[in-house]
Structure 1
Amino acid sequence: MNFMITFLYLAIAIVLVIKGLYNLLNVEKLANQMKQKREKKKDLKEISFDRLKLKAGINSLILLFVGVFIFISLRLDIGVRDIPDLVLQKGPDVSVQAYEDTIRTFLDENQLPGLVVGIVDGSDRYLFTYGYGDYSNYEVVNEKTLFEVGSITKTFTGILLADAVENGIVSIDDTVDMYLDTTKMGNNPVFKNITMKHLTTHTSGLPRLPQSFGFMFNAWLSGMTGGNPYKIVTKEKMYEYMEEAILVNPTGENWVYSNYGVGVLGMCLTEIHQRTYDELLQKTIAKPLGMTNTSVSFHQDKITSYADGFRSYKRLGNIAIGMKNAPWILEEGIVAAGGIRSTGEDMLLFLEALINESLPSITASKEPLFQVDEYRQIGMNWIIDDIEEIDESIIWHNGQTGGFNSYIGFYENKEAGIFVVANSTNSIQRLADDLMLLLINREVQ
């Protein structure tokens, strides 16, 4: 959210609260004013003075309630904090300056509460951290701070699908109705033709999000109050959405990004394996790669390790002002589309595994399955862009939740890639692009 809009909302909230309180303390005066207005209009309907006082009191309470509601929904965090510095947590001091300069330049021009950057450059591994994670306790970001990675979760889901295909458990051309209870989705015929391939390449024809009024209203309310729009999307609720599902495009023809579709894919995978999404994640990816702090679960015992997410953030010298967002804890119906939390330390392991193809399923997940246009293809939730100028392809995905922004990307034929995650919805895409360009330029040199 734009910071000027934050100030506007705050100003409106303050005005409403002050006006509501003032009116409550002057109910009799307001009732008299209402009486005089009625007399001027020659309103013949007789209303007692007591009723006018009651009406004035109710109106005052409504103003007060709306003002307090707006103020609470802002989730403001205001405090005095030292200006943070960029810290190299891991990596050789030699040749690090170019990366530091690129990150610092971005931070000088873009205010963020916290940031983690991981880089693989040939045999070198770098991990940078910046800012504050747990703002309430003044905890600085380190290699073990937990961030929401948002839609980067989809790349994990793609690897889970690739693993199931590699092991002969599922075929990429199997349809949804082979694995999910069709009676629970009202025998909706659209799912008889949608395959695993369609879901993982965003060509199912399903809309970006469920179009149910209940979901859309909750999403709107969450956007207004910094809440979690997906908290209601259990498996049971997703079945209800699937019963009402209407395609926005013919299946298999167009690439239309769909959280909805990847949520359904995750449900299929958990039904096939009879495990939760987190159990699949741990068994197939996290444990084999040594990613000990990557999960979709929200552990209270690690609460101080979680970074606070911000919808809006501004520094005025040592004064930091931000609008927090509630954690996005996703239920089984949609968790496969964006529910993972991870650390800089773990994401560097993941990036390295992607580049080195440490698991057979990683290799399979990166294979193109759908051609979007001359320069873009889609793998199992991976976006593959051909960059003509450098005769290379970048395999990537980004993500965003209510309070976080993320990116992971690497070159197809070079041992080079990055990930970036910030605990703010301020875009980090330019930093990602600059770092990827720096990597390829260093390779050329």
Structure 2
Amino acid sequence: MKPIAILLALALAIGGWFVRPRSLELAEPRTGDAALQQYIDDHYEGAGHRLAVALVDGDSVRFAGRGADEHAAFETGSISKAFTGLLLSEAIRRGEVKLDQQVGSLLPLHESEVATATLEDLATHHAGLPSTPRQPLSAARSFFANLMAGNPYPYDVDQLLDHARSSGRGDEPRYSNLGGALLGQALARSAGQTYPELLSERVLEPLGLTETRTPVDEAGAAPPGYSSGGRKQDPWVQVGYAPAGGVVSSTRDLSKLAQSLLAGRSVDALAPRREFDGERIGMFWLTSPLGGTGRNMVWHNGGTGGYRSFLGLDLERRRAVVVLSDVAVDVDDFAEKLLEEPV
């Protein structure tokens, strides 16, 4: 048997026999608005543990939670890209970068193929980059981390740049965590800051998002979440890949962000620019039909090994929803239904 096959067999044995899943049910206590609690009872069908929901109607915000209140910390996964889109919009407004600027002008990507990708290519997933690193050692490391409920993105910025330099560009649009991370780090480099510093200065502090952070170690991480089968997952602390998936937040903070967007802040980031995967996409923000309402929904979702998230906006009705779960089961359908219906 080849060494790699032996390692795979051992990993599967360890994962299967020594890490036992738990049975998951929505946790107690119940917190927040009684009508939203009833809506959860009537409509939430996914596996549950900690669940937090916010419903924004203009200036009004209602919260409900199971085992969590509006201040509870959750990994937001790829909603981090939506934050990065806001940073891109702000950097353009300040005249620091341009959408048609090549990322190689901001980062030391040398003569690699990715250096020619524009910031708009990266923000709309049109750079043709893979989602995750393709270097054999990095790919194997991520594979085993996922297998063992670990963190598949433990890379710093220099390692991210190595991944980018060794990645070719395909001809078709592809959803890419690598591309999202690269764009965020390019914006940070342009501003002479780290990504957490830039996000804090330009988005979090102005909006008073005091419960949102980009952890650089486990001290700032959200609590461990759970796989769909109930297996506890390590926190996904990301440094190099933070702009694509490293932000931790709460329903309180994400509802405040939603209110600012509904009021007209950063509309350039939300506006569709290209077609992508059956949707329209702006600076990472997606636009789709909202059920049978005849209106559109601007949104982003996210997922990590132990979390799922959704932030959706109905700009016409000035209405928004936030749903955060510490179980890796999609909450998209539940969230979209909540955005469609009066509660």
What TM-score do the two structures reach when normalised by structure 2?
Answer: 0.89
1:235 matched to 2:181? The reply is no
Asked if the contact 1:293–1:343 (Cα under 8 Å) also holds between the matched residues in 2, the reply is yes
1:114 matched to 2:50? The reply is yes
| Cα distance in 2, alignment partners of residues 226 and 69 from structure 1 | 8
Partner of residue 371, structure 1: 275
Structure 1 stretches lacking a partner, 5+ long? 1-62, 132-140, 314-321
Higher helix share: 1
The runs of 4+ residues in structure 1 deviating greater than 3 Å are 63-72, 75-79, 298-303, 386-389
1:159 matched to 2:86? The reply is yes
Partner of residue 179, structure 2: 261
Partner of residue 199, structure 2: 281
Asked if the contact 1:102–1:434 (Cα under 8 Å) also holds between the matched residues in 2, the reply is no
1:294 matched to 2:221? The reply is no
| Cα distance in 2, alignment partners of residues 300 and 236 from structure 1 | 20
Distance 1:106 1:298, change over 3 A: farther
- Residue identity (%): 26
Report the alpha carbon displacement of residue 104 of structure 1 after superposing the two structures with TM. Answer: 1.2
Distance 1:433 1:181, change over 3 A: same
Counterpart amino acid of 2:331? I
| Cα distance in 1, alignment partners of residues 39 and 156 from structure 2 | 42
My pick for the range that moved more, 203-212 or 277-286, is 203-212
SS of corresponding position for 1:390: coil
Report the alpha carbon displacement of residue 85 of structure 1 after superposing the two structures with TM. Answer: 4.6
Asked if the contact 2:223–2:235 (Cα under 8 Å) also holds between the matched residues in 1, the reply is no
Partner of residue 307, structure 2: 404
Partner of residue 136, structure 1: none
Please, which of 239, 246, 249 is the counterpart of residue 339 of structure 1? 246
Per-residue CA deviation, residues 33-87 of structure 1 (Å, 9 max, x unaligned), is xxxxxxxxxxxxxxxxxxxxxxxxxxxxxx9998566444x265689x9962532
Please, which of 248, 253, 256 is the counterpart of residue 170 of structure 2? 248
Per-residue CA deviation, residues 100-120 of structure 1 (Å, 9 max, x unaligned), is 33211234x333111000111
1:198 matched to 2:121? The reply is yes
SS of corresponding position for 2:63: strand
Question: What is the RMSD computed on CA atoms of the aligned residues?
Answer: 2.6
**Within 5 A, what are the aligned runs for 1:19-98?**
70-72=16-18, 74=19, 76=21, 84-88=28-32, 97=35
Per-residue CA deviation, residues 287-308 of structure 1 (Å, 9 max, x unaligned), is 11111121112576667xx433
Counterpart amino acid of 1:86? R
Partner of residue 310, structure 1: 226
| Cα distance in 2, alignment partners of residues 239 and 387 from structure 1 | 38
| Cα distance in 2, alignment partners of residues 426 and 82 from structure 1 | 13
Please, which of 103, 116, 127 is the counterpart of residue 40 of structure 2? 103
Asked if the contact 2:188–2:194 (Cα under 8 Å) also holds between the matched residues in 1, the reply is yes
Counterpart amino acid of 2:233? N
| Cα distance in 2, alignment partners of residues 82 and 391 from structure 1 | 33
Counterpart amino acid of 1:348? S
1:224 matched to 2:147? The reply is yes
My pick for the range that moved more, 159-168 or 383-392, is 383-392
Asked if the contact 2:114–2:167 (Cα under 8 Å) also holds between the matched residues in 1, the reply is no
Distance 1:337 1:142, change over 3 A: same
Please, which of 310, 324, 329 is the counterpart of residue 237 of structure 2? 329
Partner of residue 325, structure 2: 422
